[in-house]
């Protein structure tokens, strides 16, 4: 089944900045049968990708029972497939995953696709009316956060076979979506599109060669890929090459140390540097306590990289494509984006490029950290799933995730590593680091139009200072928002 062109644009825009999108569409329903910073120096090593990891699920025959999924257009490729193989590696991996789960447990997947706002609305209406319509929902991270805030989804702790300790679930997911050790939304290998929307840095190998620089791969492995190194690389690179007296995005000749977009780089750099706006106490209850000294230091590094070093920093949605074009044209040393951009925009790039994780704040920071764009879909289970059905629902969710880990993620990685996307095996190691070190912040998911975007707001103003005033100005409203979220989560425990 193919959607109209609007869906294509919705996917493209969601990957590059989720505040844009296309008009509401009528839903499509189908059945598919094949259908703060750590201390202690740490040397980063590549984590080997496990294959065929067992999920430990019981054998069960559900007699052809339907498993009902609703997903956003952005995430439809996570679960929806044609009813046959297509020779598209990622599609066929999802197809095989679905078929394996259906045959193993004798079920049939029923998948509804709609716009992200419509998905949130449909699940909300179903829960409020007590209508048991969906077993699993793929909801937009930011827009769909209201489902948890309004007590419309179950804690995964009430789903007995979902084991969040397994490698196919994000390790840091609880930091952004758990309260009192009850997790309301989840992500990981079950959503390959979310992996594609994970932040990374692309670098132009030709520019490195021209300046007689070594590619930064070994720096990454040694735990020494930091903002100071990025600042060193990009210093003095931005230049006026056409002689008009200015360095301009509109030039066809001017070059930049970095090209970046305001709906991506403020977040990817902040979280990469160890930033986190919401803190948890020993009981896993969130609270807001501004980390002025830490965040001032982080912002200073970001400001130097972007503003002082004269990066191309696009601050208007209408000009986002300029950030991409400048890199594809070979006129930027680095490009901050998502993994998925390689497939979407750089197939015909003449210059060779590589992929890196975002830099750490300094060498004392234990891990590289990857920001995940708010356009991704988180999975959640509506509270209308009755207690007697939760074993069934949890088995199928865990099976979909484990099979994705074993089948889909390797296909996704291979897809990114095709000749036209990235041109060396070392970038494969980098992708492992990127996707296995994703971080989640409750402030970003639940308070995007507030404290969650303070770095973006300061950078758009080109403000070198103001971190303390900005963070403190949000204290009252952030504390109130957290209190409301905690109350909603507590209510969900009664379901």
**Same domain assignment for residues 242 and 264:** yes
Name which of 406, 394, 408 is nearest 79 in CA terms. Answer: 408
Do residues 228 and 306 touch, judged by C-beta distance below 8 A? no
**Same domain assignment for residues 170 and 258:** no
Q: What is the DSSP string of 248-294?
A: -TT-SS-BEEEEEETTTHHHHHHHHTT--S-EE-TTS-EE----HHH
Is there a domain that residue 81 lies in?
yes
Residue 297's CB is within 10 A of a number of other CB atoms, namely 17
**Same domain assignment for residues 12 and 127:** yes
Long-range contacts made by residues 297-303, C-beta under 8 angstroms, separation at least 24? 297/361, 298/270, 298/273, 298/274, 298/361, 299/270, 299/455, 299/458, 299/467, 301/227, 301/228, 301/231, 301/269, 301/273, 301/361, 302/227, 302/266, 302/269, 302/270, 302/273, 302/455, 302/459, 303/459, 303/464
Give residue 144's domain range.
5-196+375-416
**Same domain assignment for residues 166 and 204:** no
Would you state the pLDDT for residue 344? 76
Would you state the pLDDT for residue 11? 37
Do residues 98 and 4 touch, judged by C-beta distance below 8 A? no
Is there a domain that residue 489 lies in?
no
**Same domain assignment for residues 172 and 208:** no
Name which of 53, 98, 101 is nearest 77 in CA terms. Answer: 98
The residues, any chain, with a CB within 8 Å of residue 381's CB and separated by 6 or more, are: 135, 136, 137, 153, 154, 156, 159, 393, 397
Would you state the pLDDT for residue 423? 55
CATH number at residue 282: 3.40.190.10
CB environment 370-389: b (16+ within 10 A), e (fewer): bbbbbbbbbbbbbbbbeeee
The residues, any chain, with a CB within 8 Å of residue 109's CB and separated by 6 or more, are: 31, 32, 33, 35, 66, 67, 69, 79, 98, 101, 102
Read off φ and ψ for residue 314, nearest 5 degrees.
Answer: -80, 120
Is there a domain that residue 83 lies in?
yes
Would you state the pLDDT for residue 48? 42
Would you state the pLDDT for residue 51? 53
**Same domain assignment for residues 435 and 397:** no
Q: Total structural domains in the chain?
A: 2
pTM for this predicted structure = 0.86
Would you state the pLDDT for residue 345? 80
How far apart are alpha carbons 126 and 417 in whole angstroms? 41
Ranges of the chain whose pLDDT falls below 70: 1-51, 418-424, 495
How far apart are alpha carbons 101 and 477 in whole angstroms? 45
How far apart are alpha carbons 44 and 359 in whole angstroms? 12
Do residues 114 and 375 touch, judged by C-beta distance below 8 A? no
**43 is written with which tokens?**
């040397």
pLDDT tens, 305-338?
999 999 999 999 888 889 999 999 999 999 999 9
How far apart are alpha carbons 380 and 442 in whole angstroms? 16
Is there a domain that residue 178 lies in?
yes
**Same domain assignment for residues 343 and 381:** no
**Same domain assignment for residues 410 and 321:** no
């Amino acid at each position: 089944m193919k959607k109209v062109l609007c869906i294509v644009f919705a996917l493209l825009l969601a990957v590059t900045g989720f505040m844009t999108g296309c008009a509401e569409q009528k839903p499509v329903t189908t059945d598919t049968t094949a259908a703060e910073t750590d201390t202690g120096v740490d040397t980063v090593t590549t984590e080997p990708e496990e294959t065929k990891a067992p999920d430990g699920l019981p054998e069960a025959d559900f007699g052809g029972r339907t498993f009902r999924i609703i997903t956003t257009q952005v995430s439809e490729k996570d679960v929806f497939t044609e009813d046959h193989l297509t020779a598209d590696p990622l599609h066929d991996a999802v197809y095989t995953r679905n078929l394996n789960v259906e045959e193993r447990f004798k079920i049939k997947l029923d998948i509804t696709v709609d716009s992200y706002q419509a998905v949130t609305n449909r699940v909300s209406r179903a829960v409020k009316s007590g209508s048991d319509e969906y077993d699993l929902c793929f909801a937009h991270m930011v827009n769909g956060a209201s489902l948890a805030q309004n007590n419309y989804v179950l804690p995964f702790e009430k789903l007995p076979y979902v084991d969040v300790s397994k490698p196919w679930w994000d390790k840091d997911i609880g930091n952004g979506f758990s309260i009192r050790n009850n997790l309301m939304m989840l992500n990981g290998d079950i959503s390959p599109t979310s992996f594609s929307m994970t932040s990374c840095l692309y670098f132009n190998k030709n520019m490195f060669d021209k300046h007689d620089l070594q590619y930064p791969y070994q720096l990454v492995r040694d735990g020494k890929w930091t903002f100071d190194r990025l600042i060193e690389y990009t210093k003095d690179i931005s230049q006026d090459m056409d002689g008009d007296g200015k360095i301009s995005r509109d030039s066809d000749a001017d070059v930049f140390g970095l090209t970046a977009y305001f709906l991506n780089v403020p977040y990817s750099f902040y979280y990469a540097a160890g930033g986190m706006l919401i803190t948890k106490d020993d009981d896993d209850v969130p609270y807001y306590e501004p980390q002025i000294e830490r965040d001032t230091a982080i912002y200073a590094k970001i400001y130097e990289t972007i503003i002082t070093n004269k990066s191309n920093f696009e601050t208007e949605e209408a000009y986002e494509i300029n950030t991409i074009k400048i890199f594809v044209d070979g006129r930027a040393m680095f490009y901050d984006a998502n993994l998925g951009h390689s497939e979407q925009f750089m197939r015909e790039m003449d210059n060779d490029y590589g992929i890196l994780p975002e830099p750490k704040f300094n060498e004392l920071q234990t891990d590289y950290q990857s920001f995940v764009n708010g356009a991704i879909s988180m999975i959640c289970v509506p509270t209308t799933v009755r207690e007697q059905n939760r074993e069934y629902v949890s088995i199928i969710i865990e099976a979909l995730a484990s099979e994705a880990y074993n089948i889909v993620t390797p296909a996704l990685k291979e897809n990114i590593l095709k000749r036209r996307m990235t041109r060396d095996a070392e970038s494969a190691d980098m992708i492992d680091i990127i996707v296995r070190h994703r971080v989640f912040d409750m402030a970003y998911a639940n308070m995007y139009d507030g404290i969650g975007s303070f770095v973006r707001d300061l950078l758009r103003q080109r403000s070198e200072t103001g971190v303390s005033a900005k963070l403190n100005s949000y204290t009252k409203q952030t504390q109130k928002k957290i209190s409301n979220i905690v109350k909603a989560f507590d209510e969900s425990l009664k379901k």
